[in-house]
Chains A and B, each alone.
Chain A
């Protein structure tokens, strides 16, 4: 697959000198990344290497200890407090969509209500317009026919596709995925990956934490490898998989290849 020309356009996400501590635990160490528009980045690394924390710092589900996060021109310095900071964080969240490992659909709302909740309540969008947009996105993930069901009655794969539609309906500039298929039965992983691939092909900027090496190889423009809170390698997928520079990357690839997870 042809790689989009990276590093040319303006970055949608720019992380500068990010540090994150949990108490005394130094979880992210001086991380800087730029993700240009339309790029799909896969973030891989061993458990505990800080992938989720990095992703969650980008939309401030975790407050960075130091450093600056910039999403589509909104610059927020980490570790601050107060009204102005909260407003900036809010602006960043409006520009980012997030998909969680555990789906986190709202169980007391139907599929459609889940999807229009953000646009109507947060953006104040006209309900009718929100429904149109929601139905369009539900159709695109193949679940329009389930719009009046409650989440409890959906399979895991369907729940995750609804969660993707919910995030997309906020019309974000970047989508963050934190192991979106790790809670799924193996036979349901494919349908979610296909939807993600479709979203990527439509030009969405994406940062995906995943163990799905097939997806990384096929869909990602770029793979970033993390270890112990640092970025140890950042390259095109074919380079990472065929020609790893860091021995830890190599060990990780070998582990995946031998069926480890």
Chain B
């Protein structure tokens, strides 16, 4: 009795104290990781600062980059961000549609539908993305089919990612238990209603985090489209000015920073969405 009333009057229970301790440990860890990141960044900046350091009789020079070139060309390269994002967004939308269709096709009991789905996935996964991109830019014109740069790029990236992402939707559909379908059937729902109202909403929610990852990967793979020379996105612009003025180092560093910033922002948004999905109404 006394033990109980004592612990109730005490400001903090044993469990609370342990929990506080754990929270403090986690905060401490995060702070140290942040600090280390900062130091790593500083080292990287220093490596490209062109400083000379003397240790004893030896003098080392860090990498010297041309600041003037960067100032001159940053606007031109940054101008490619819009194209990079546009291509990525359009491609991921196409990829989602194709991936979903391919995943549903895999569930079909109609042989031709099943075959189309598996054929598509096999063909795309069996050939390089780089080849597929060139196919749309360079091979199709030989047949008299000339696509605009952005359109061809979106088609190639969308088709490619769609084939890989069909696995995500397949897993999403598989994650919906048999009991869910049976409950819907028992209520009298048709197979179509069951798919639309019960299975798909759950499968799509399951697929949101991995699709986010694919989108982030896509923003970087979109750089491959530059190789064709028709789409003026980040990478194309960086290589253009870099080669012309023999400042590839500076140009590529700038492009790298832009890609990195884009993925950082997208990862942040992705994280927010994921935590929102994992609590709340699941």
User: CB-defined interface of A93-112 with B at 8 Å, one 1/0 digit per residue?
Assistant: 11011101010111110100
B196 to chain A, nearest CB (A): 9
When the two chains form the complex, which single residue of B182, B188, B190, B281 contacts A100, counting CB atoms closer than 8 Å? B182
A135 to chain B, nearest CB (A): 18
Given contacts A94-B188, A170-B188, contact A121 B197 (CB under 8 A): yes
Interchain CB contact under 8 A, A104 and B282: no
B78 to chain A, nearest CB (A): 41
User: CB-defined interface of B168-212 with A at 8 Å, one 1/0 digit per residue?
Assistant: 000000000101101111111110010001100110010000000
Interchain CB contact under 8 A, B185 and A108: no
Nearest neighbor of A163 in chain B, beta-carbon distance:
B183
A232 to chain B, nearest CB (A): 28
Nearest neighbor of B204 in chain A, beta-carbon distance:
A108
Interchain CB contact under 8 A, B182 and A118: no
Interchain CB contact under 8 A, B187 and A117: yes
Interchain CB contact under 8 A, B180 and A170: no
Determine the chain A residues whose CB is within 8 A of the CB of B183 once the complex forms.
98, 100, 104-106, 163
Given contacts A61-B186, A108-B281, contact A117 B197 (CB under 8 A): yes
Q: How far is the CA of A98 from the CA of B184 in the complex (A)?
A: 10
Q: How far is the CA of A59 from the CA of B182 in the complex (A)?
A: 11
Determine the chain B residues whose CB is within 8 A of the CB of A129 once the complex forms.
none
Given contacts A100-B182, A150-B281, A152-B282, contact A106 B198 (CB under 8 A): yes
Interchain CB contact under 8 A, B185 and A118: no
A245 interface contact, C-beta 8 A: no
Determine the chain A residues whose CB is within 8 A of the CB of B202 once the complex forms.
107-108
Interchain CB contact under 8 A, B186 and A121: no
Given contacts A107-B282, A108-B202, A150-B281, contact A118 B187 (CB under 8 A): yes
Q: How far is the CA of A106 from the CA of B199 in the complex (A)?
A: 9
Q: How far is the CA of A96 from the CA of B205 in the complex (A)?
A: 31
Binding site secondary structure of chain B: helix
Given contacts A106-B180, A106-B198, contact A96 B282 (CB under 8 A): no
A207 to chain B, nearest CB (A): 14
B277 to chain A, nearest CB (A): 11
Nearest neighbor of B190 in chain A, beta-carbon distance:
A90
Q: How far is the CA of A253 from the CA of B184 in the complex (A)?
A: 35
Q: How far is the CA of A139 from the CA of B148 in the complex (A)?
A: 62
Q: How far is the CA of A5 from the CA of B136 in the complex (A)?
A: 78
User: CB-defined interface of A175-188 with B at 8 Å, one 1/0 digit per residue?
Assistant: 00000000000000
A74 interface contact, C-beta 8 A: no
Interchain CB contact under 8 A, A61 and B182: yes
Given contacts A106-B198, A108-B201, A122-B193, contact A100 B187 (CB under 8 A): no
Q: How far is the CA of A104 from the CA of B180 in the complex (A)?
A: 6
Q: Tell me the A113-150 residues at the B interface (CB within 8 Å).
A: 117-118, 121-123, 150
User: CB-defined interface of A52-71 with B at 8 Å, one 1/0 digit per residue?
Assistant: 00000001010000000000
Determine the chain B residues whose CB is within 8 A of the CB of A96 once the complex forms.
186
A141 to chain B, nearest CB (A): 17
Interchain CB contact under 8 A, A118 and B188: yes
B174 to chain A, nearest CB (A): 16
Nearest neighbor of A149 in chain B, beta-carbon distance:
B281
Q: How far is the CA of A100 from the CA of B198 in the complex (A)?
A: 17
When the two chains form the complex, which single residue of A100, A117, A170 contacts B179, counting CB atoms closer than 8 Å? A100
Nearest neighbor of B185 in chain A, beta-carbon distance:
A61
A220 to chain B, nearest CB (A): 22
Determine the chain B residues whose CB is within 8 A of the CB of A104 once the complex forms.
177, 179-180, 182-183
Determine the chain B residues whose CB is within 8 A of the CB of A61 once the complex forms.
182, 185-186
Nearest neighbor of B194 in chain A, beta-carbon distance:
A121
B278 to chain A, nearest CB (A): 11
A27 to chain B, nearest CB (A): 17
Interchain CB contact under 8 A, A122 and B180: no
Q: Tell me the A159-173 residues at the B interface (CB within 8 Å).
A: 163, 166-167, 170
A161 to chain B, nearest CB (A): 15
User: CB-defined interface of B239-264 with A at 8 Å, one 1/0 digit per residue?
Assistant: 00000000000000000000000000
Q: List 8 A-B contacts (CB under 8 A).
A: A59-B186, A93-B186, A98-B183, A104-B182, A104-B183, A106-B184, A108-B201, A117-B197
Given A102-B179, A106-B198, 19 other A-B residues pairs in contact with their CB atoms under 8 A: A61-B186, A93-B185, A93-B186, A93-B187, A93-B188, A96-B186, A97-B186, A100-B183, A104-B180, A106-B180, A108-B282, A117-B197, A118-B187, A121-B193, A122-B187, A122-B188, A122-B193, A150-B281, A163-B183
Residues of B near any A CB (own CB < 8 A): 177, 179-180, 182-190, 193, 197-198, 201-202, 205, 281-282
Residues of A near any B CB (own CB < 8 A): 59, 61, 90, 93-94, 96-98, 100, 102, 104-108, 110, 117-118, 121-123, 150, 152, 163, 166-167, 170
Q: Which 8 A-B pairs have the closest CB atoms?
A: A104-B183, A118-B187, A98-B186, A104-B179, A122-B188, A93-B188, A150-B281, A94-B188
